[in-house]
Structure 1
Amino acid sequence: MLRALAAYSRHAALECGVSVDRAVKAALLDTLAVALGALTHPAAVAARRYARHAIVARGATIWGTGECVTAEAAALVNGVPLRAYDYNDLYIGKSGGHPSDMIPGLMALAQWRGIDGKRLIGAIALGYEVAVALFDGLRLRNGGLDYPNIVAIACTCAAARMLGLSEDQTADALAITVIPHAASLEVESNDLNRRGDLTMWKRFNGSDAVRQSVYACLLAEAGAEGAVRPFEGRYGFLARLELAEDDRAALLRRLDPAQPLSAVERVTYKLWPVGSRGQSAIQAALEARRRIPDPARIAGIRVLADEGVYDHLVSQRADPWHPVSRETADHSLPCIVAMALLDGRVDTGTFDKERVMRPDVRTLLNDRLVVEPAAELGGGAAAGFLARVEVTLDTGEVVVGEAGPPPGHRLKPFSDADFEEKLRVNVEPVMGARRTRDILEAVRALDAAASLQPLCALLGAGAQGVEAP
């Protein structure tokens, strides 16, 4: 596995066709929309405080402040807000995760090293190719591991290629990535911390893995060597996963440098700042809400959901009918549906504590809403994690929001205009309309950019409510 990944990183053709170029730019726009819109999240604030220890004269920009830090620190700090609201892309195979976690780290490295836009685009496409192959081929839960382990391997392959590392150096970087750093699935335990939230480390887990990738590549470039058998060794990465020989062979076939890059076109996106398992339910609730003149007339709500959705957002949760914080609210299917029906919209402020504690929300949750698993809505991620919402009014009329794949799913993909609108909605409030348009134009023209400095300057100082470290 080690040599196959190193050879793939070194030799895969980075020429991106029109559709792949578009897909990478879409992933970039989505990443910036999500991250820049969450710069005031407590985890993002904590990450910027950490960055005080890494300020340098020439490095990579902290988004929202313009301060310069080391590439490793920027990979962490700029990646944290990307995961603040569970709002970035998703791919699910045998395992699932968020490939775009690698983008802030690759951008930081490219800015620091003066790498041009076309080379960055190719590296991102390569990283997605590795991530998707590994998500398809590995069952991380077998070893109690979380998805950032895959993103870290993919990011190391992409960063090594961008830096021009040799095949041997890339192998050492991969070994340094996977042996010292193993992201545990414990962050998905659903245990609540002292504030009644899910662990804040969930917001750091992906970017910390990417920081490890940047660190590993720089160490290998400097001559550091990693473990000899980081994947197949007795205590190596694959030993934890109990990978069958047939599955290993299938995975190796995917890492064929002669194959064109295309995996970046196969991820899904989110219209609303909630995990993917809540997107269809929001769509159904908003569809019903448009036909309800006054939510005060709601007498009862019945939510039917894919069994995987029910398990993830109801049965695994401590008390989904009584959320006590933002994260217990946006990880509760009852609360997600209730807020969509009451407000007629879902945005990054929907699940603020003061809003979910309102009396009208509590009345709807505790007295009028039931959720049931529905086998007929099966299909999981491939179908869009389906949910149907049935609302009974005080007249006895039943208004139905039908189950269907949500916007951004592969069965209902975003258009270019959808990505632009997501950028506008999330970035204009913190950076203004003019700068948001300039960011859009810079991403659209990235393949012709000699460096990332102009784009990173736009992402720097001037974000409303964001203080420098």
Structure 2
Amino acid sequence: MSITLARRRAFLLRALAGTAGVAFAGASSAQALADAAKPVANAVPPIANRLAEYVHRLRYEDIDASALEALKLRLVDTFGCALAALKEPVVQRCFQLAQAGASHASALIGTTHRTTPELAAFANGAAIRYYDLNDGYAAKEIGHPSDFISVSLAVAQSEGRSIQDFILASLVAYEIECRLFDAAAISPRGWDNPSYGVVTAALTAGKLMQLSVEQLTQAVNIALIDHIAMNQTRTQVLSNWKGLADASAAKSGVFAASLAREGITGPSPIFEGTYGFEKLVAGQPIAIDTAAFGGPGRAFRIADVLVKPYPAQGHTLTAVEAAIRLSGRIHDPAQIDKVVVATTQLGYKITGSGPYVWAPATKETADHSMPYVVARALIDGTLTNASYAPEKLAAADVRALMPKIRVEEDPALTALYPRHIPNRISVYLRSGEVLTERVDDLPGAPDMPLTREAIEAKFWRTAGTAITRANGEALIQRIWSMERLRGVDPLFEAAMAERAA
């Protein structure tokens, strides 16, 4: 049996037994795919086609040294976030699900287990995202591009691609995700950012599968029609799904690319159509100029992706830092009369409004709650993964302080967004003294990039108890020189999550 036929048979068996029942067309599917991908004559090509053409055209030689270094920094950070979360019950359940996969094509981070590329993208994505400590990008939408490193790892391994292919696909993931976030806000209309993420995943996987322009276009069409996510994920009581939504988009995107490779077509034009993404989800035309995307002589968006210092929602990070600075000047939190947090319009809307952020009952609600993270940082002088333990959420000290906190928008701070995500905290003490701290940026922000040493320090703070020193050092050094590796296998081999003594 040829490799191509074996791969096709394996994929069809997974599709029939797994996530979807698909009715496959006959021998004309390849021609149907090509016809469906063709734009109308003399018209601007649909967005899906333009994205596909950009991804297909991009080459490893188009990557400059700064983009490669930015990816290495974020890859160390991403592995650290994933390794630290392997002990968490939610992540363990996702890994257990993935291990039930019949295929052994793609590895699960920190283990010797392998599964299908779809389930590896899901499970590894769950680990990367769990602590809300991986990187972030703020524009018209805000999200986490490194979530889709789970796709480039899984598919590079399953397809046997080179490390250069992996690097290129990872930069594709960052570029597509960020550019879509630049294009249009969808959360105000009730939709969630994994609706963009599934496009990112499909194109990232498709690049590694070496799909044609027509196939990449169909991967986008299939991915979007199948995976429009609701913003209820990030509203009211936040659940485990907050950290799994992008992982699910990653899985769906890999599956969409696999379908497109087999000749399956999706509806078009998926963005501009009568009932397409622009009309139903964005509520406006989406401006996409792929000529401005990263490439020869043009910067990649990865340089504008922040590296998080604290495990909390992006709009709260500078408030956490301000609260930590103030905590050293407050000898007794019981002497606090009130706290006023001035933030951006989105900071207020996402993290400072509604009754649920004032009484968070879940970790996921708490790490998206401005009152909680500010109160915890004022009391403890820090904010870590342990800050969301059940006993911390229920502690009398934080429950007493949160009602004293008021969150409000300051238009002057809103005007600085998205290049900066500023917050200002004023603490009013019973003595009459007022303490104020404003923070506009933190190390790791686009204007304050981290060094390798700073990234390594975060890695050890995050994952130091999840991996031995020898394995961690090997992983980090392999990433720093990864262009000399043959593929991604050495990264997985080094990332064995043996408990540090």
Q: Same fold (TM over 0.5)?
A: yes
User: Per-residue deviation at 1:280?
Assistant: 1.0
Say which of 478, 486, 500 aligns to 1:442.
Answer: 478
For residues 256 and 272 of structure 1, the distance between their equivalents in structure 2, rounded to whole angstroms, comes to 29
Say which of 344, 366, 374 aligns to 1:306.
Answer: 344
For residues 294 and 266 of structure 2, the distance between their equivalents in structure 1, rounded to whole angstroms, comes to 24
Say which of 273, 279, 294 aligns to 1:233.
Answer: 273
| Deviation per residue, 1:386-423 (Å, 9 max, x gap) | 22223345554433322322332223332222221111
Counterpart residue number, 1:456: 492
Whether 2:477 is the aligned partner of 1:430: answer: no
Counterpart residue number, 2:21: none
Pick closer, same or farther for the CA change 1:165–1:370 going to 2, 3 Å.
closer
User: Per-residue deviation at 1:24?
Assistant: 1.1
Counterpart residue number, 2:385: 348
Counterpart residue number, 2:5: none
For residues 340 and 227 of structure 2, the distance between their equivalents in structure 1, rounded to whole angstroms, comes to 44
Say which of 225, 230, 252 aligns to 1:184.
Answer: 230
Counterpart residue number, 2:15: none
SS at structure 1 position matched to 2:100: helix
User: Per-residue deviation at 1:178?
Assistant: 1.6
Contact 1:14 1:123 in 2 (8 A): no
For residues 94 and 397 of structure 2, the distance between their equivalents in structure 1, rounded to whole angstroms, comes to 35
Identical columns (%): 28
Whether 2:397 is the aligned partner of 1:360: answer: yes
Counterpart residue number, 2:303: 265
For residues 425 and 295 of structure 2, the distance between their equivalents in structure 1, rounded to whole angstroms, comes to 46
Letter aligned with residue 80 of structure 2: A
Counterpart residue number, 2:245: 205
For residues 348 and 241 of structure 1, the distance between their equivalents in structure 2, rounded to whole angstroms, comes to 34
Counterpart residue number, 1:334: 371
Map 1:68-467; keep pairs closer than 5 Å. Answer: 68-141=114-187, 144-190=190-236, 192=237, 198-241=238-281, 247-248=286-287, 250-251=288-289, 253-254=291-292, 260=298, 262-295=300-333, 297-315=335-353, 317-366=354-403, 368-379=404-415, 381-382=417-418, 384-393=420-429, 395-460=431-496, 462=498
Contact 2:303 2:446 in 1 (8 A): no
Pick closer, same or farther for the CA change 1:352–1:318 going to 2, 3 Å.
same
For residues 417 and 97 of structure 2, the distance between their equivalents in structure 1, rounded to whole angstroms, comes to 36
User: Per-residue deviation at 1:300?
Assistant: 4.3
Letter aligned with residue 93 of structure 1: A
Pick closer, same or farther for the CA change 1:69–1:463 going to 2, 3 Å.
farther
Q: Given the two structures, how large is their TM-score scaled by the length of structure 2?
A: 0.83
User: Per-residue deviation at 1:243?
Assistant: 6.2
| Deviation per residue, 1:189-215 (Å, 9 max, x gap) | 32x3xxxxx122222110111111211
For residues 208 and 3 of structure 1, the distance between their equivalents in structure 2, rounded to whole angstroms, comes to 24
SS at structure 2 position matched to 1:401: strand
For residues 121 and 84 of structure 1, the distance between their equivalents in structure 2, rounded to whole angstroms, comes to 24
Counterpart residue number, 1:6: 52
Contact 1:143 1:240 in 2 (8 A): no
Pick closer, same or farther for the CA change 1:231–1:382 going to 2, 3 Å.
closer
Q: Given the two structures, how large is their TM-score scaled by the length of structure 1?
A: 0.89
Letter aligned with residue 35 of structure 1: A
For residues 244 and 396 of structure 1, the distance between their equivalents in structure 2, rounded to whole angstroms, comes to 50
| Deviation per residue, 1:298-323 (Å, 9 max, x gap) | 454333333432222221x3243333
Contact 1:94 1:139 in 2 (8 A): yes
Pick closer, same or farther for the CA change 1:356–1:111 going to 2, 3 Å.
same
Contact 1:313 1:333 in 2 (8 A): yes
User: Per-residue deviation at 1:60?
Assistant: 1.3
For residues 313 and 161 of structure 1, the distance between their equivalents in structure 2, rounded to whole angstroms, comes to 36
For residues 342 and 317 of structure 2, the distance between their equivalents in structure 1, rounded to whole angstroms, comes to 14
Pick closer, same or farther for the CA change 1:240–1:259 going to 2, 3 Å.
farther
SS at structure 2 position matched to 1:89: coil
User: Per-residue deviation at 1:350?
Assistant: 0.8
Contact 1:308 1:385 in 2 (8 A): no
Letter aligned with residue 33 of structure 1: G
Contact 1:308 1:380 in 2 (8 A): no
For residues 310 and 304 of structure 2, the distance between their equivalents in structure 1, rounded to whole angstroms, comes to 19
Whether 2:94 is the aligned partner of 1:47: answer: yes
SS at structure 1 position matched to 2:386: coil
Unpaired segments of 5 or more residues in structure 2?
Answer: 1-46
User: Per-residue deviation at 1:380?
Assistant: 5.5
SS at structure 1 position matched to 2:140: coil
Larger RCO: Structure 1 or Structure 2 (Cα < 8 Å, ≥ 6 residues apart)? Answer: 1
Contact 1:62 1:460 in 2 (8 A): no
For residues 257 and 383 of structure 1, the distance between their equivalents in structure 2, rounded to whole angstroms, comes to 22
Pick closer, same or farther for the CA change 1:170–1:320 going to 2, 3 Å.
closer
| Deviation per residue, 1:3-52 (Å, 9 max, x gap) | 21221111123322110100111221221122222223332122122123
Contact 1:377 1:387 in 2 (8 A): yes
SS at structure 2 position matched to 1:264: helix
Contact 1:95 1:139 in 2 (8 A): yes
Contact 1:55 1:68 in 2 (8 A): no
| Deviation per residue, 1:130-162 (Å, 9 max, x gap) | 222222123324764321122221232222222
Letter aligned with residue 389 of structure 2: D
Contact 1:8 1:257 in 2 (8 A): no
Contact 1:383 1:405 in 2 (8 A): no
Paired residues, number: 454
